[in-house]
Amino acid sequence: MTRPLTCHTILALCEQLAQWRAGGASIGLVPTMGALHDGHLSLVRATAKRADKVVVSIFVNPTQFAPHEDFDTYPRTLDTDRENLADSGAADLIFAPGGGEIYPPGFATAMHVDGPALGLESDFRPHFFGGVAIIVAKLLIAALPDIAMFGEKDYQQLLVIRRMAADLGLPIEIAGGPILREDDGLAMSSRNAYLDAEERKVAGQLNLVLKAAIARLRKGDAIREVEVTAETALKAAGFDTVDYVAVRDAETLATIEDLAHPARILAAAKIGKTRLIDNMAV
Ligand code: PAF
């Protein structure tokens, strides 16, 4: 079992990585907000197949939460995360900075991404991608990994990060790892822990509604009609609010009228206080 080292400062991280690099090792980075589940661990294992040393960052990033969102209650489980990463045998270093290390007093820089960041999540969480872009840019610049791996559950986030890294000229492969699902198909997420037993049953319907929508799209039903039917089905299944069900170009997230190019169906819906997202290739 590899017990990962832990660094709390950017300086300590850079020093350790410089040592590994000097020995010829390639570096992989898996940015997370902790509360690690099997989905995260699968990303860590996948990264270990692509890089000699794997860094997992754990930081609940305040700038990607709006004031009314769950920053304060977001699960923080560093000790368990450390054990799970040690058991995985795939992580070499945990980077767990404090808030002041990432956002020192006087911090005054913001980022704005257009392109894949427009619409969908941004319509409901306008602060989100600016916060994600700044933290991920800081992590990428600090670690300068050969590869950084992100889960496809946050599909729009993956495309936004890819855009941002390309626009900044960062010579880093931004890779996506497939969504891991529970037995009923619910996409694994740290936020699933918020669901009570009743809500958990409803949550399991999200992936089924998306699968049914994909079946209709493949039969040739009109995209707009399928989106509307899927939203209605989610409400009927017990979701309190449906933010969107949208069929988009899989590479750009642009609105599409047909399936001439690879497409992705993406959805966000709320049960009680818990907001869930999911997506699938069409
Ligand atoms: O997907 C997440 O867990 C976060 O948005 C990320 C990429 C670690 C940035 O805080």
Which whole number is the average pLDDT over 16-24? Answer: 98
For a ligand 1 pocket test, name from 61, 140, 155 the mutation site with the most ligand atoms within 8 angstroms of its C-beta: 61
Task: Check if the beta carbon of residue 121 is closer than 8 Å to that of residue 128.
Answer: yes
Confidence of residue 1 (pLDDT cuts 50, 70, 90): low
Q: Which atom of ligand 1 is nearest to the CA of 33?
A: 3
pLDDT of residue 275: 97
What's the mean pLDDT in 41-48?
98
Residue 73 is predicted with a pLDDT of 94
Told to judge if 40 belongs to the known catalytic residues of this protein, a careful annotator would answer: yes
- 30-44, pLDDT tens digit by residue? 999 999 999 999 999
Share of residues in the chain with pLDDT > 70 (%): 99
pLDDT tens-digit profile of 149-178? 999 999 999 999 999 999 999 999 999 999
Ligand 1 centroid to residue 151 C-alpha, Å: 9
Q: Is the CB of 135 under 6 A from ligand 1?
A: yes
pLDDT for the residue numbered 191: 92
Q: Is 124:6 a contact under the CB 8 Å cutoff?
A: no
Report the separation in Å between the CA atom of 222 and the middle of ligand 1, taken as the mean of its atom positions.
Answer: 34
| Cβ of residue 136 lying under 6 Å from some atom of ligand 1 | yes
Q: What is the pLDDT of residue 258?
A: 97
- Rg over CA atoms, the chain: 19
User: pLDDT tens digits, residue range 177-209?
Assistant: 999 999 999 999 999 999 999 999 999 999 999
pLDDT at 273 (0 to 100): 93
From 32, 111, 134, 160, the mutation candidate for ligand 1 (largest count of ligand atoms within 8 A of CB) is 32
Residue 110 has pLDDT above 90, yes or no: yes
pLDDT digits (tens, 9 = 90+) for 51-106: 999 999 999 999 999 999 999 999 999 999 999 999 999 999 999 999 999 999 99
Q: Is 61 in the pocket of ligand 1 (CB under 6 A)?
A: yes
Of the candidates 235, 216, 218, 234, the one whose C-alpha atom is nearest the C-alpha of residue 226 is 216
Task: Please report which confidence band the pLDDT of residue 2 belongs to, taking 50, 70 and 90 as the band edges.
Answer: low
